[in-house]
Amino acid sequence: MGLMDRLRNELIDVIEWTDDSRDTIVWRFPRHGNEIKSGAMLTVREGQTAVFVDEGQLADVFTPGTYKLTTANMPILTTLESWKYGFESPFKAEVYFVNTRRFTNQKWGTKNPIMLRDPEFGPTRLRAFGTFTFRVTDADTFLTEVVGTSGDVSTPEVTDHIRNLVVSRFTEALGEAKLAALDLAANYSELGGALGGKMEESMEAYGVELKDLVVENISLPPEVEKAMDERTSMGVIGNLGAYTQFQTAKAMEAAASNPGGGAAAAGVGLGAGMAMAQGMAGSFMQPQGQQQASGATPPPPPPAAPSFHVSKDGQTAGPFTMDQLKAQAASGELTRESHVWREGMDGWKTAGEVEAMQPVFGAVPPPPPAA
């Protein structure tokens, strides 16, 4: 082997990327001084794309396969460097490996509630979350628009930006759909499809394809969920009339088929059906009672009857109702000089001084005249 052959063998290098992280999207080949030997072996694995960059300009792109780097398979880099065919000296270039596999089960969600003008409940706040899948389809565009001069790019750096776009486009899709809050749960697929359509153009500008964009849940405020539960209850109540008729028909059919004990059986069946219907109506209507009270303001409760404490022999007794006080006055146990007190008074007073106590003594006859 001659000296030139030995030098050529020493110049051969291997350029490849084995990714063990599972979340790296772009990786720059670490090469001292960015020098690559002519005749180096480039290995691009499945799910990867290799892109050569010369002084900031995108050059040749290599899809999966094994390549011996020569001027023949690097036409763009050869033109940029003004090489002649057969040039075999080391050259400078950056090599970026782009992961083109699918990154699945990426999460998205609204950080803050979204305002929705609902036709029934008015302005309503809601939250939403779901998942999506993405992959890089245009390595050149992705490097230009996303990577720039960065060496490595991982999924969090990309998914954060995608999440923000998804939430923004979801708000637009929700407003254009004009769906009532009660109908959102039945239209997750339609909303996901509309959202995916809006995201397609935005992602294409970054060289990224968005797939399997799913709306998993849209949560409503508690007050709206309560109203939905009440609406469901009212729907069940609306069917109780048909249920009662069904039970009555069954009871009559049973009576016709059993002439001997038909009357009793029919009565029991009809009574059970009516009782069940009334019980169901009562259980569903109970939380609605206040709402169905025709909107009239109920009368205020009657004022509480006054009651007094009485001082007897230095001890406090009571409280006594007015009827009890009248009985004590009639028996002479309570007089106008007796001291009384009730809540709201600033201290003890004689019964004769308290206006509310006057009806107690109204029925007591005055002392008899002197003989």
- pLDDT score, position 8: 47
Residues of the chain with CATH 3.30.1490.40: 307-362
- pLDDT score, position 57: 84
- pLDDT score, position 27: 92
CATH architecture, domain defined by 103-223: 2-Layer Sandwich (3.30)
- 307-362: CATH number: 3.30.1490.40
Full 3-state SS string of the chain: CCHHHHHHHHHCCEECCCCCCCCEEEEECCCHHHEECCCCEEEECCCEEEEEEECCEEEEEECCEEEECCCCCCHHHHHHHCCCCCCCCCEECEEEEEECCCEEEEEEECCCCEEEEECCCEEEEEEEEEEEEEEECCHHHHHHHHHCCCCCEEHHHHHHHHHHHHHHHHHHHHHHHCCCHHHCHHHHHHHHHHHHHHHHHHHHCCCEEEEEEEEEEEECCHHHHHHHHHHHHHHHHHCHHHHHHHHHHHHHHHHHHCCCCHHHHHHHHHHHHHHHHHHHHHHHHHHHCCCCCCCCCCCCCCCCCCEEEEEECCEEEEEEEHHHHHHHHHHCCCCCCCEEECCCCCCCEEHHHCHHHHHHHHCCCCCCCCC
Residues of the chain with CATH 3.30.479.30: 103-223
- pLDDT score, position 44: 94
* pLDDT tens-place values along the chain, 371 residues long: 454 454 444 444 788 999 888 889 999 888 766 577 777 889 999 999 999 888 778 888 999 999 988 766 675 565 655 555 455 556 677 889 999 999 999 999 998 888 888 887 788 888 999 999 999 999 999 998 888 767 788 888 899 999 999 999 999 998 888 888 878 888 999 999 999 999 988 899 999 999 989 999 988 878 777 777 777 666 655 656 665 666 677 777 777 776 655 445 445 454 555 555 455 555 545 544 444 444 556 666 655 667 888 887 777 887 888 888 788 788 778 888 888 888 878 788 888 888 887 887 875 555 666 65
pTM, full prediction: 0.55
- pLDDT score, position 142: 92
Rounded CA-CA distance 371/353 in Å is: 30
- pLDDT score, position 284: 47
- pLDDT score, position 7: 44
